[in-house]
């Protein structure tokens, strides 16, 4: 049986632990996590021995190689150093996305993996979600002909954007990652997967339009606790209403770290990010961005990322020479039309026959991703969904180039490899 360690046992780390719980081919044997409560969770809920719950990644790595693979789920800026250290020690690696926060760091991870011959997969779980997998299948079976255009929208949802990108861990791009990578490296990976060609050029526009001081309503203050009562009552981002027990438990936007904490006390302390006004923070994460991509042979793709939607969902439209398919991933229904024929509805909602929410993360993608990683380590044949480190870093390169273009007024940039 394969033995795994999870480094960074927060939201994503504990998700993978849940998915491993009943797995027969692999088990969780070690955890590295700085937060004592999270370490306790690893022991009490996932049966990791106390002596195998390390209080930091450093302490874990100092032990040398003690199991087969590492699932690396620390924050983006920690990935480069920890991923390379794990690979050098001989670990195979499942690495959370984005791979790293700069292009140079991503390339260093790729080159180390290739140089050492390590098996490294990025957590591009959406490839495995039935909605996206079904689109890829239609393409692979030739049902759409040759893909000419892909049009994708990442609707982040106003509340999710505020949690993660205005107050949360990804609010400051220099301290974390450019938003187009942090939020959309899945989208860039999916577009590359659908296109199955080399991207030649990219251009991008976008910015932070709304979550800034000039958009603050009258009566607002730097902290929710100091806001005018009437203004706060009508504010969509009122911290007293946003950080509910349900939201904290859900973990979206890094809120899981608030479990068991005095949330009201934190809001009123004026020292914690969750109590800050969304218009007066230290955020610079862009709230909307468009990316245009040109592929070998002339095919094109377009990605829109926006904070401004009610629901959090992706909308995808793929146009081929023989047919088209479109759908709202949140609704799980694809509309496929072979040209000259009838439109068909493909409902992927019941594609996974489980009712445990843990198995449905990213539409079931997280579970199948982990199963594929296990298959990879066990030498099973490459699946159509499996992403190599080279492919994954390719979509990161496109993301970093898109950001460079945005910062240069939408300049068209060539993708160099
Ligand atoms: N695949 C996806 O769709 C997806 C979704 C959300 C987040 N992510 C990515 O997953 C990663 C983790 O995100 P998260 O939401 O789980 O964050 P998180 O903050 O909940 O978890 C990170 C954990 O790392 C721990 N940690 C920090 N420093 C450490 C150290 N030196 N040694 C050991 N542990 C340490 C923290 O205490 C925390 O528990 C990020 O890279 C994020 O971008 C991916």
Write out pLDDT tens, residues 89-100.
Answer: 999 999 999 999
| Structural domains in the chain (count) | 3
Quick check: CB of 406 below 6 Å from ligand 1?
A: no
Q: Are 252 and 165 members of one domain? A: no
Write out pLDDT tens, residues 361-397.
Answer: 666 788 899 999 999 999 999 998 998 899 899 999 9
User: Higher model confidence: residue 256 or residue 8?
Assistant: 8
Quick check: CB of 8 below 6 Å from ligand 1?
A: yes
Write down which residue in 256, 275, 294 finishes a domain.
Answer: 275
Q: Are 227 and 176 members of one domain? A: no
Q: Are 201 and 219 members of one domain? A: no
- What pTM does this model have? 0.91
Quick check: CB of 74 below 6 Å from ligand 1?
A: yes
Supply the mean pLDDT for the chain. 93
The torsion region of residue 409 among left (phi > 0), alpha (psi -120 to 50) and beta comes to left
Write out pLDDT tens, residues 305-360.
Answer: 999 999 999 999 999 999 999 999 999 999 999 999 999 999 998 776 555 555 55
Q: Are 133 and 262 members of one domain? A: no
What is the Å distance from ligand 1's center to 255 Cα? 12
- CA atoms of 172 and 285, how far apart (whole Å): 6
Write down which residue in 90, 107, 122 finishes a domain.
Answer: 122
Q: Are 193 and 330 members of one domain? A: yes
Q: In CATH, what number is assigned to the domain containing residue 87?
A: 3.40.50.720
Q: What is the mean pLDDT of residues 286-299?
A: 97
Write out pLDDT tens, residues 222-270.
Answer: 999 999 999 999 999 999 998 888 888 887 777 877 888 899 999 999 9
Q: Are 299 and 250 members of one domain? A: no
For ligand 1, atom 33, the nearest C-alpha belongs to: 33
Give the Cα-Cα-Cα angle 313, 124, 321 (nearest 5 degrees). Answer: 70
Quick check: CB of 32 below 6 Å from ligand 1?
A: yes
**Which residue from 6, 9, 10 has its CB within 8 A of the most atoms of ligand 1, so it is best to mutate?**
10
Q: How far is CA 413 from CA 107, 271, 401, 405, 409, in A?
A: 18, 42, 7, 7, 11
Q: Are 104 and 11 members of one domain? A: yes
For ligand 1, atom 25, the nearest C-alpha belongs to: 8
Domain limits at 251?
Answer: 213-275
Q: Smallest Cα–Cα separation from 140: which of 132, 123, 299?
A: 132
Question: Is the pLDDT score of 127 beyond 60?
Answer: yes
**Which residue from 15, 96, 125, 312 has its CB within 8 A of the most atoms of ligand 1, so it is best to mutate?**
96
Helix (H, G, I), strand (E, B) or coil at 55: coil
**Which residue from 12, 249, 258 has its CB within 8 A of the most atoms of ligand 1, so it is best to mutate?**
12
Write down which residue in 122, 151, 176 finishes a domain.
Answer: 122
Quick check: CB of 189 below 6 Å from ligand 1?
A: no
How high is the pLDDT of residue 355? 53
- CA atoms of 153 and 150, how far apart (whole Å): 10
Q: Is-contact 251 208, C-beta < 8 A?
A: no
Question: Is the pLDDT score of 176 beyond 90?
Answer: no
Write out pLDDT tens, residues 237-250.
Answer: 999 998 888 888 88
Q: Are 260 and 151 members of one domain? A: no
How high is the pLDDT of residue 104? 94
Q: In CATH, what number is assigned to the domain containing residue 408?
A: 3.30.360.10
What is the Å distance from ligand 1's center to 210 Cα? 27
Quick check: CB of 66 below 6 Å from ligand 1?
A: no
Counting DSSP H helices and E strands in the chain, the numbers are 15, 15
The residues facing 344 across adjacent strands are: 336
Q: Are 154 and 244 members of one domain? A: no
Q: Are 249 and 301 members of one domain? A: no
Question: Is the pLDDT score of 212 beyond 70?
Answer: yes
Q: Is-contact 284 192, C-beta < 8 A?
A: no
What is the Å distance from ligand 1's center to 74 Cα? 4
Q: Are 306 and 332 members of one domain? A: yes
Q: Are 40 and 115 members of one domain? A: yes
């Amino acid at each position: 049986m394969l033995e795994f360690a999870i480094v960074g046992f927060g939201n994503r780390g504990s998700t993978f632990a849940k998915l491993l719980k009943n797995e027969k081919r692999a088990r969780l044997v070690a955890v590295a996590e700085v937060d004592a409560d999270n370490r306790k969770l690893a022991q009490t809920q996932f049966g990791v021995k106390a002596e195998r719950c390390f209080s930091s990644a450093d302490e874990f790595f100092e032990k040398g190689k003690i199991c087969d693979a590492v699932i690396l789920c620390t924050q983006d800026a920690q990935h480069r150093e920890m991923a390379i250290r794990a690979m050098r020690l001989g670990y195979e690696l499942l690495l959370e996305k984005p791979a790293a926060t700069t292009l140079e760091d991503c390339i260093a991870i790729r080159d180390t993996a290739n140089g050492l011959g390590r098996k490294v997969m990025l957590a591009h779980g959406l490839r495995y979600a039935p909605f996206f997998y079904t689109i890829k299948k239609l393409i692979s079976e030739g049902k759409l002909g040759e893909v000419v255009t892909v049009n994708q929208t990442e609707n982040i949802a106003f509340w999710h954007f505020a949690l993660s990108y205005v107050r949360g861990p990804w609010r400051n791009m220099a301290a974390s990652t450019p938003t187009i990578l942090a939020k959309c490296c899945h989208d860039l990976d999916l577009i590359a997967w659908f296109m199955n060609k080399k991207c030649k050029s990219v251009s991008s526009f976008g910015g932070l339009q709304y979550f800034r001081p000039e958009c603050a309503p009258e009566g607002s203050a730097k902290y929710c606790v100091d806001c005018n009562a009437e203004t706060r009552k009508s504010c969509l981002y009122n911290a007293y209403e946003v950080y509910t027990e349900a939201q904290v438990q859900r973990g979206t936007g890094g809120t899981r770290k608030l479990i068991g904490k005095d949330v009201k006390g934190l809001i009123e302390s004026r020292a914690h990010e969750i109590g800050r006004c969304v218009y007066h923070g230290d955020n610079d994460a862009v709230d909307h961005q468009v990316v245009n991509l040109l592929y070998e042979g002339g095919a094109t793709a377009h990605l829109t990322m926006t904070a401004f939607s009610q629901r959090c969902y992706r909308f995808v439209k793929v146009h081929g020479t023989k047919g088209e398919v479109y759908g709202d991933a949140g609704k799980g229904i694809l509309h496929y039309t072979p040209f000259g024929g009838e439109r068909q509805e493909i409902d992927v909602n019941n594609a996974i026959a489980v009712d445990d929410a843990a198995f449905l993360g990213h539409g079931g993608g997280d579970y199948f991703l982990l199963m594929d990683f296990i298959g990879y380590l066990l030498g099973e044949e490459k699946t159509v969904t499996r992403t190599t480190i080279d492919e994954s870093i390719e979509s990161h390169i496109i993301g970093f180039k898109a950001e460079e273009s945005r910062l240069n007024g939408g300049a068209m940039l060539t993708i160099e490899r």
